[in-house]
Every structure is written in structure tokens, then in C-alpha cells.
């Protein structure tokens, strides 16, 4: 089946929660669009994912923190990060004024 869409459709609508949409899923790969409006990881929460993740910031801004690094990483549009499986990380902040649109590719 052929599917299509627009990565920015509906991104302007503010929501209390992040919007996560799966664009493609296979047994070894999942591609998601994530739209944030000022959301961050809860205090003390760390992602520890079984799959690796490659993420690119398309719009907005974000700050990621990795447990093994002394300072957080600021991301701007076009910046990407590959996060190996089980590397603990968290979202410290996303742009509260403009939508932050991410494309996340989870893979084995």
C-alpha cells in the first residue's frame, strides 16, 4: 500500500501532550513524527529504549540531556542525533512559543 502525508500538517495546533504519530512500522523499523509545544520529560525520568533511535529536529528547538554527558545538547532545525539502544537520555526542554517537529527513526 502506498501512503503519503505532510510532516507539518496540524503541527501548529497547541496540545497539552506531545503528539506522536507512527508514519511507518515494520518488525525492525519504526518512523514517528513527534510534535512538541514546550513539553519536556518529567523530573527524574530517563528514556532507556531497547531500540536505537535516530532523531532529526525539523522545526522549533529542543534540549536533550544524556546521562553520560556533563552538559545538555541544544538542537536547532536540521540537527540530528543517533542514540544507541539503552543510552539513557531525556528531553530537557522544547520551544514553548513555536511547534517543535521531530522525525524519529527507531531501528534494531
CA–CA distances in Å: residue 75 to residues 9, 59, 62, 102: 22, 10, 5, 11
- Which numeric CATH code is attached to 19-107? 2.60.120.10
pLDDT for position 69: 98
> Mind spelling out the 3-state secondary structure of the chain?
CCCCCCCCCCCCCCCCCCEEEEEEEECCEEEEEEEECCCCCCCCCCECCCCEEEEEEEECCEEEEECCCCCCEEECCCCEEEECCCCCEEEEEECCCCCEEEEEEEEC
One pLDDT digit (tens) per residue for the chain, 108 residues: 899 999 999 999 999 999 999 999 999 999 999 999 999 999 999 999 999 999 999 999 999 999 999 999 999 999 999 999 999 999 999 999 999 999 999 999
pLDDT for position 1: 84
CA 105 to chain centroid: 9
Amino acid at each position: 500500500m502506498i501512503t503519503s502525508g505532510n510532516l507539518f500538517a496540524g503541527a501548529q495546533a497547541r496540545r497539552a501532550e506531545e503528539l506522536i504519530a507512527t508514519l511507518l512500522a515494520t518488525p525492525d523499523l519504526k518512523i514517528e513524527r513527534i510534535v512538541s509545544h514546550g513539553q519536556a520529560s518529567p523530573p527524574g525520568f530517563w528514556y532507556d529504549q531497547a531500540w536505537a533511535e535516530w532523531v532529526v529536529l525539523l522545526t522549533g528547538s529542543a534540549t536533550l540531556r544524556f546521562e553520560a554527558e556533563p552538559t545538555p545538547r541544544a538542537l536547532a532545525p536540521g540537527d540530528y542525533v543517533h542514540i544507541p539502544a539503552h543510552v539513557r537520555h531525556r528531553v530537557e526542554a522544547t520551544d514553548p512559543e513555536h511547534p517543535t517537529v521531530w522525525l524519529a527513526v527507531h531501528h534494531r
